[in-house]
Structure 1
Amino acid sequence: MAKKVVFLTIHGMGDTEPGYANDIVEAMREKLTDDWDAVEHRSIYYQTFLQPNEYQYYNATKSRVSWGQLRKLMINGFADAGSLEYSRGTPGGPYYLTQDHIFTTLGQIYDDLGGTSLPVVVIAHSLGCEVISNYIWDANKEDKTYGYWKDAEKNAANDGRLKFQKLQNLRLLFTTGCNIPVFITGLKEEERIPINKPHKDFIWENYYDKDDVLGYPLTELSPAYGALVKDVKVSVGNLFTGWNPFSHNEYWDNSGIQRELSKHLKAFV
């Protein structure tokens, strides 16, 4: 069956393995049955640029501090966000390498599909929501005088491929446990500006659990976010995680979220 939609998964912060998306991909495969063959899936894995460095520091200091496992959790989690933002303007830094990884992956997809610009569906979790938002923002802004896109655009293979790599064919941004507010609520309301809508059919659905202290609604950030994003309140997790902050890691296992995501994918095939 010919491919009809591209499905990208992007993980969040913390100790993450390359196979992080296996369960959600298998859930989509089961729900779409034969139609899954029309879906081109790729996983974005940016921990390659962060996790080894975090492990190096943790292992070097763990004998000198207490609460080792909690410290490991803090380093593996919050160092991801801090290191990405800190290195925003540094060539070869984690921010730069993460953007290059997304850019390269999209280029490979475009080539593998024979130069066809299929609609794209992205599901991003936690810090991954900030990562993909930054990528889209940087890729499509007019001023490209710094960072990854300073050279990426002028070295692009062709216009069709570049437009696809800029995610100008993004049809659905599906975010879960999104912590974009953590990065921008220190700004005045009028300064909290979201990505531009890539085209009239673009949809952004944001799923949050009220007990998840790392996941937030977005529509109250500013009128601009309110006009762009549809917030969906959900209850995720089980008896032990559904009523507390541990719910943050339970979104992709939630049957309701899987059902909604599969409906969106189904609409393209």
Structure 2
Amino acid sequence: MTQKLAVAILHGAGTPEKNFAEDMIGKIYKGFAKEVKVQHPEQELEIVPVYWSSIFEEEEERLWRKLQQSADLDYVRLRRFAVEFLADAVAYQPSSVADNNYDKVHAVLARALNRLKEKAGPTAPLCIISHSLGSVVASNYFYDLQLKHENIGIHTGRHTGQSPLEKGETLALFYTMGSPMALWSLRFIDFGLPIRVPSPMVKKYYQHLQGEWLNFYDKDDVLAYPLKGLNDHYHSAVTKDVQVNAGGLLTGWNPFSHSRYDTDRSVIAPMVEGLARTWMEVNKS
């Protein structure tokens, strides 16, 4: 029996459809099956979408209705995009108030990791695929696990399990798409510390696993930035900043490219290669 990989996909800012990851999952399965020569990739990759913005969905919709009622606004599509991004970003900020949104969002991710533990096993290598603000959510979550051990369980509504996967010990692959993480780094002295990928503990379970952190950005996407140049810590932690041209003729040359990473071949292909390489490394006979 082979060791499955566990994959969590976090969407970006705004409230997508609940099936937001469907196309990406299909492309990952298809590419993975071709890479490792398996007929049923869904038996080797357990993939769970993390619909974290459900926490904000109702209030953001109510806010947008009120804003539209109060004035005749130009650039409605672009403005809706901006409002959703900023609203999620503001609402997600850490707070000392009990039962705050930061904790609620992390509880959603904790429950997703619990499902992955049940499906793929407690020591399954973990891959996180994250877009936009979802990359900040993922980074914060694993930062707490790696560097603030006393916070384990606190910022997840006590949902953090004690399996190696749920504690982030098997984190092997981190893919960030259209990430504004560079902007968030302003909160910290000298732009702060990144999470470590792979996890420092992964060698305990898979001695030869290398792992990687690829950060995909489109130079036309005003919310996405490279990360390796932030400081020496990021330079070491991020395997590569990958410049891509996300989107097609209508979006590839403008800020709307921000929403097109998840189905772009230049993004999907390197992730599939990483998943295939990791699967083969942990399933060597």
Using the size of structure 2 for normalisation, the TM-score is: 0.83
Shift of 1:75: 2.5
Instruction: Give me the whole-angstrom Cα distance separating, in 2, the residues matched to 1:95 and 1:142.
Output: 15
Q: Secondary structure at the match of 2:176?
A: strand
Deviates more, 1:220-229 or 1:179-188: 179-188
Residues 247 and 264 in structure 2, CA contact (< 8 A), matched pair in contact too: yes
Residues 35 and 266 in structure 1, CA contact (< 8 A), matched pair in contact too: no
Structure 2 partner of 1:8: 8
Instruction: Give me the whole-angstrom Cα distance separating, in 1, the residues matched to 2:233 and 2:176.
Output: 17
Structure 1 partner of 2:128: 122
| 1:114-169 deviations in Å (ceiling 9; x for gaps) | x43110111101101100000001122246369834973xx866x4x1x3212210
Structure 2 partner of 1:101: 108
Instruction: Give me the whole-angstrom Cα distance separating, in 2, the residues matched to 1:216 and 1:184.
Output: 11
Instruction: Give me the whole-angstrom Cα distance separating, in 2, the residues matched to 1:49 and 1:151.
Output: 13
Instruction: Give me the whole-angstrom Cα distance separating, in 1, the residues matched to 2:244 and 2:157.
Output: 41
Q: Secondary structure at the match of 2:145?
A: helix
Structure 2 partner of 1:131: 137
Structure 2 partner of 1:79: 87
Structure 1 partner of 2:283: none
Q: 1:156 to 1:219 in 2, by over 3 A?
A: closer
Q: Secondary structure at the match of 2:179?
A: coil
Q: Secondary structure at the match of 2:270?
A: helix
The equivalent position to 1:252 in structure 2, one of 259, 262, 270, is 262
Structure 1 partner of 2:220: 211
Shift of 1:106: 1.1
Code of the residue aligned with 1:244 in structure 2: it is: N
Q: Secondary structure at the match of 1:175?
A: strand
Identity of aligned residues (%): 27
Shift of 1:31: 1.8
Q: Secondary structure at the match of 1:121?
A: strand
The equivalent position to 1:62 in structure 2, one of 64, 68, 74, is 68
Q: 1:38 to 1:147 in 2, by over 3 A?
A: closer
Instruction: Give me the whole-angstrom Cα distance separating, in 2, the residues matched to 1:184 and 1:7.
Output: 26
Structure 1 partner of 2:235: 226
Residues 102 and 155 in structure 2, CA contact (< 8 A), matched pair in contact too: no
Runs of 5+ consecutive residues of structure 1 not aligned to the other structure: none
Residues 125 and 176 in structure 1, CA contact (< 8 A), matched pair in contact too: yes
Deviates more, 1:126-135 or 1:21-30: 21-30
Instruction: Give me the whole-angstrom Cα distance separating, in 2, the residues matched to 1:187 and 1:59.
Output: 35
Q: Secondary structure at the match of 1:164?
A: coil
Instruction: Give me the whole-angstrom Cα distance separating, in 1, the residues matched to 2:270 and 2:149.
Output: 36
Residues 160 and 166 in structure 2, CA contact (< 8 A), matched pair in contact too: no
| 1:62-101 deviations in Å (ceiling 9; x for gaps) | 321221735433322210011101x443332221111111
Structure 1 partner of 2:17: 17
Code of the residue aligned with 2:214 in structure 1: it is: E
Runs of 5+ consecutive residues of structure 2 not aligned to the other structure: 34-38, 204-209, 281-285
The equivalent position to 2:56 in structure 1, one of 46, 50, 63, is 50
Q: Secondary structure at the match of 1:171?
A: strand
Instruction: Give me the whole-angstrom Cα distance separating, in 1, the residues matched to 2:212 and 2:265.
Output: 21
Using the size of structure 1 for normalisation, the TM-score is: 0.87
4+ long deviations beyond 6 Å: none
Q: 1:253 to 1:137 in 2, by over 3 A?
A: same
Residues 213 and 245 in structure 1, CA contact (< 8 A), matched pair in contact too: yes
Code of the residue aligned with 2:111 in structure 1: it is: T
